Amino acid sequence: MPDTTEPAPEDIDLGAVFAALADRHRRRVVLTLLAEPDGTERPCSSFGLPVSKSTLTHHFRVLRQAGLIRQVDRGNSNMAQLRRAELEQRFPALIDLLRAEIRDSADATVERNQRSAKTDRTSSSVRP
């Protein structure tokens, strides 16, 4: 039977958390869960990561062992849930840093879209 336990809040190691968050796919999972209401559970397959099933399993194992998520078995599905309260208790500023990344990413997307729209308008007004 696979090990699905996560560390107790006092055993969550900052180095393991940072190592888990260093991978963009794992960070995407955490940021997606952070954007959801507290306590939200999502099927591990619902994050749309462009990786094989075995790699997906690896990523969720790393997140769970680092203490970032808990996995809940719901019959045919493994659900992922962010351990928000425990993380805020152990590393109070971590959630704020992750929220800032969500805001920064959204701001960057808006800026890219605005630049693209401006470029489109400029190129369509230039006639040969």
**pLDDT given at position 128:** 55
Rounded CA-CA distance 128/117 in Å is 20
pTM greater than 0.85: no
Residues 6+ apart with CB under 8 A from 43: 77, 78, 79, 80
Phi, psi of 5 (to 5 degrees): -85, 150
Encode the chain (128 residues) as per-residue pLDDT tens digits. Answer: 456 689 999 999 999 999 999 999 999 999 999 999 999 999 999 999 999 999 999 999 999 999 999 999 988 889 999 999 999 999 989 999 999 988 888 777 777 777 777 776 666 655 55
Residue 16, number of CB atoms within 10 A of its CB: 16
| Domains of the chain with bracketed CATH | 14-102 (1.10.10.10)
Backbone dihedral region of 42: left (phi > 0), alpha (psi from -120 to 50 degrees) or beta? beta
Which pair of structure tokens corresponds to residue 76? 């045919």
**pLDDT given at position 105:** 80
